[in-house]
């Protein structure tokens, strides 16, 4: 199987759950911005949930599939179509050879994930398929997909599911999206939380923040009432993580996202909980968010529950798909 990019999108990159083990060398984990939806697409296909997917933004690419495949799209709803007929997200679609996948309009969310039954036939870089654009390494030749690119897939098993005359067929199981789309983003207090003045603490916990236009895979810049610290202390650089909420010298905030630098020197007033990072990653510039504090133990429970849910879904889907295709996945 292979797919071909007929028209490129804004930024379409291969991503998995991240590249770990190299942050001490300044090489960041990267990986899918919405880790949940990327895993969900794989789980619905009964695959290893860490498998690589294509992260797609809007405007989105036009993709031609040269062979029969089963695909799954999760995350943002960009109104996907196969041969100009609408298909659903969070559900498997079996497609025929020479099918064209397009995305009509941006209905909700910021990025969607495309997973296929077979895995892309590309080499890992430092143990991960994620694209590192700064190092121009990993993923598809270290860059976003562009017009004319052909991505080959490993043909690990043969199957025949669709009749030739059909455009596509929807498989009978789906996921109910479990990512909240409320304004609320939960956080746990950060290492320099106590540096904030009493007024600033009230502002941060009560006011909304708007995501600014210059937000990207590295970080989300926020605009809101500016925050102050009790005394100006120079912080020595140290490690940071996906979700760290940093206070900039002008009193505004930045939330570090998937492509964040490995270290930073701004006060860390909080950390978005891992379970809510997917919903933050689906917010667009102009959207408002509101932070609400939770305990560390809640953050951990939510993360474990999400993971358990995905593993159960993966097991169930694998069983159903094996039966349907009469293969061993």
Q: Which residue from 271, 279, 289, 314 is in contact with other proteins, where contact means CB under 8 A? A: 271
If binding is defined by CB under 8 A, does position 26 make contact with other proteins?
yes
Cβ neighbours of residue 84 under 8 Å, at least 6 residues apart?
100, 102
Q: Which residue from 67, 263, 309, 316 is in contact with other proteins, where contact means CB under 8 A? A: 263
Half-sphere exposure of 257 (CA within 13 A, CB side): 23
Distance of CA 103 to the CA centre of its chain: 18
If binding is defined by CB under 8 A, does position 2 make contact with other proteins?
no
C-beta separation of 252 from 214 below 8 A: no
Which is nearer to other proteins, 168 or 195 (by Cβ)? 195
Which is nearer to other proteins, 102 or 261 (by Cβ)? 261
Residues 174 and 170: their CA atoms lie apart, in Å, by: 10
If binding is defined by CB under 8 A, does position 125 make contact with other proteins?
yes
Which is nearer to other proteins, 167 or 192 (by Cβ)? 192
Cβ neighbours of residue 133 under 8 Å, at least 6 residues apart?
13, 142, 143, 144, 259
Q: Whole-number minimum distance, CB 88 to other proteins, in Å?
A: 29
Dihedral sign for Cα 274, 275, 276, 282, please.
Answer: positive
Residues 233 and 247: their CA atoms lie apart, in Å, by: 12
If binding is defined by CB under 8 A, does position 241 make contact with other proteins?
yes
Which is nearer to other proteins, 26 or 286 (by Cβ)? 26
Q: Which residue from 63, 240, 247, 258 is in contact with other proteins, where contact means CB under 8 A? A: 240
If binding is defined by CB under 8 A, does position 315 make contact with other proteins?
no
Which is nearer to other proteins, 40 or 299 (by Cβ)? 299
Largest separation between any pair of C-alpha atoms in the chain: 71
Q: x/- contact string, 281-310, with other proteins (CB under 8 A)?
A: ---------------xx-xx--xx--x---
If binding is defined by CB under 8 A, does position 132 make contact with other proteins?
yes
Q: Which residue from 21, 107, 205, 206 is in contact with other proteins, where contact means CB under 8 A? A: 21
Element spanning 325, H or E: helix 296-325
Task: Tell me the C-alpha to C-alpha distance, in Å, between residue 96 and each of 101, 172, 223, 250.
Answer: 11, 17, 47, 54
Q: Could you list the residues that contact other proteins (CB under 8 A)?
A: 20-27, 29, 125-126, 132, 134-137, 142, 188, 190-191, 233, 235-244, 261-264, 268, 271-274, 296-297, 299-300, 303-304, 307
């Amino acid at each position: 199987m292979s797919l071909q990019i007929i028209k490129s999108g804004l930024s379409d990159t291969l991503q998995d759950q991240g590249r770990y083990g190299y942050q001490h060398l300044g090489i960041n984990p990267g990986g899918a911005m919405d880790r949940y939806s990327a895993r969900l697409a794989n789980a619905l296909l009964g695959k290893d949930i860490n498998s690589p997917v294509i992260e797609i933004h809007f405007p989105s690419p036009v993709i031609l599939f040269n062979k029969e495949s089963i695909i799954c799209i999760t995350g943002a709803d960009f109104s996907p179509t196969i041969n100009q007929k609408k298909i659903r997200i969070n559900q498997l679609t079996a497609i025929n050879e020479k099918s064209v996948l397009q995305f009509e309009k941006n209905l909700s969310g910021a990025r969607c994930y495309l997973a296929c039954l077979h895995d892309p036939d590309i080499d890992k870089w430092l143990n991960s398929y994620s694209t590192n654009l700064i190092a121009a390494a990993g993923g598809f030749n270290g860059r976003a997909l562009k017009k004319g690119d052909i991505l080959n897939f490993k043909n690990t098993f043969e199957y025949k599911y669709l009749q030739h005359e059909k455009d596509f067929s929807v498989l009978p199981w789906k996921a109910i999206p479990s990512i909240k789309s409320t304004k609320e983003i939960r956080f746990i207090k950060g290492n320099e939380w106590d540096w904030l003045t009493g007024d600033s603490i009230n502002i941060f916990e009560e006011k909304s923040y708007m995501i600014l236009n210059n937000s990207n895979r590295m970080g989300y810049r926020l605009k809101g009432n500016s925050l102050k610290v009790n005394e100006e202390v120079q912080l020595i650089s140290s490690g940071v993580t996906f979700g760290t909420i940093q206070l900039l010298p002008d009193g505004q905030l930045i939330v570090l996202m998937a492509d964040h630098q490995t270290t930073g020197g701004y006060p860390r007033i909080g950390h978005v909980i891992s379970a809510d990072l997917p919903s933050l990653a689906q917010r667009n510039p102009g959207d408002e968010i509101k932070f609400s504090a939770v305990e560390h133990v809640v953050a951990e429970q939510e993360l474990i529950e999400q993971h358990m849910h995905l593993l159960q879904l993966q097991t169930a889907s694998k069983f159903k798909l094996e039966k349907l295709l009469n293969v061993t996945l």
